[in-house]
Structure 1
Amino acid sequence: MKLHTVRTDPKTNKVEGKDREYFSVLNSTTLAALQRIELRHAGLSWGTKQAIRALGYGASAKVGMKFRTAWWQKEPFGIKKGGISHTDLPLRVCVYPSHNIEANEGPDKWDPEKPAVLLCSYTWGQDAQRIGSLCSNNTAHDDKELKRLIIHELARLHAREEFPFEKLVEHLEEQYVDHHGYDWYRDEYMSEIIKPNSFGQFYLVGEAASSYHAWIIGALESIIRVVYIIFQGLQNGNPEFEAYSIVLDLLKPAPTDKNKKYEFEDIGKPLKRGSAIPTGLPFYPLPEEIPTTQFYRTESAPLTDNPTDEAKLDNVEMTYGAALAVLSLIESFFELGLDKQ
């Protein structure tokens, strides 16, 4: 990949430009600074360009619930104005809507018996990561634990003598219609910020391109992620080259029995449930952005880093990192219009 750098000599004010060729380029600037760098010919995918423009830095999560009635506006609760409740419960902040309230609608049109939506939880930072871990892509079907938690915490927040906790839980269960949880980490652009670009030659690293924003560990883990993806791509192109395998082996978990130290021959074997955390591997575990398996993977299917194996062999699936590397190459191919040449 070619980079063109421009430097102004502080003594002579002379502007000098240089072109340099690199195998891969890792960009660690902030997203704000990255917007000021000339990237027209960098081969960025459309999704990555949108991510640079649209992503903020703080993790956040929101959970909204639709109820059969605006129960919080009725007695004994009487919350008839918009506002927020702060709590040390996991939902942290509950936001009451300022629309469809008596003050705006008037006593003649206002009807708390109509279905209404409540922003039950608004969190950010570490609290958002905890709530977000319960959010599902198939919201309202797969995240039953999120629904249970929010209803129980709403009941704790609003319980009173006239409406004790157990009774209020039952009431909210009856009132419940639907819900939706939004997790920043599952934002459509979050996955784009960690993808390879320009045929696997341009990568965004640093805490901005990590699930651990504003933390040094986030910046370090983003580098591990990029190295892992680079070598997955290299190994796919030359699976017989031993050096690539050695690097990838160092980045993989190794199974160990309890109190047993890491052995080199253990590398690459499946991690047994309930076994001790592997010791001796310098980068274990892999960053949160690089799970071992793809989503919706068949649990019993063996894994491979080679796309040819997945295509030719029955019931074999690619690892997440290998699949991401291949997908990014295909996206770059179409993004740059090479399919039309």
Structure 2
Amino acid sequence: MSFVTDTMAARLKSTIWPQAGATSIDVSLSTPAVAMSLASDGRTIQVTTGGEKSSTNSYDMVFNTTALGPLQQMDLSGLNLDRDILDGIRALSYDRATKVAINFNKRWWTGFYPNADAMHRGGGVSSSDFPLGFTVYPSWDNGDGTNVLIASCAWAQDASRMAALVPDYTDPSTPTPSYAGPIAAVCLEGLVKLWAGRQEAPTLKDLHDYYITHYAWAWSHDLCTCGTFALFGPGRFQNIYPNAHYAWISGALDSVLFSVIKFLAARSTESPDVATKALKLLASDSNPDKKHFEKNERGEHPEGDERLAYWCAEASAMK
């Protein structure tokens, strides 16, 4: 999952993107933001970072991109935010998810899909009421010798119960992963039950013989997320509206787009043409006057729908 962020960091560091002569920007790592506040002049924002190199720096504009859980843990008292915004940060919820990936020495599941073509032979998803939740079988084989199976993808309460079995991999005293470990044992036993009765179904001994290692992760225990995907209930959008594709990567793109639009529009008094340029970011080349918004038509890009982004900006009180 670091592919996206690594690519972003590389682009920021580049001196030829988005154009030749661009300023190279280094991304600071291991410097979590712990507080944000307005400076005494009321025009800049001070951001305090923790970690080994704690410091406070001032910025003209700050775009916060954390999940709401980590945001709530920051000291935001100096921003003088409205109570509605603080309630939104506190109340909007994230569901739980726990995943367990197991690497085997063979793709023992491929024979269960005899009708699949050669390229996709062995792909699919199983669901059950076992602790496993969902089991995801990869539909590719790139020949690198890895045979990783997402043995368990659990949500909600199932995820919480599986999370209790996830070890602390940073603790030196944590035993080396083995098929006898609590969470691996639950998964392997579940896989045997899942395929019981099928021709050539694996036995528990078979899976022990095929087992190489495993890794488990609970997003509810992740300091950077404090949860998995957004799962907002009725009335949760009353005080804050994040985007039209919440819980998806495309939602993150939406948030970036309309946040930039709102920022540029807010600066329109300083530069009269800024608001016009901001709206052009949401208008396609064939519809520069935003007619596709008025006709309720979809924008140009399926993963970053301009019409929905514009609607989100309006719903967030952009004037």
Q: TM-score higher than 0.5 here? A: no
The TM-score, its normalising length taken from structure 2, stands at 0.38
* Higher relative helix content: 1
The TM-score, its normalising length taken from structure 1, stands at 0.36
- Larger RCO (alpha carbons 8 Å, 6+ apart): 1
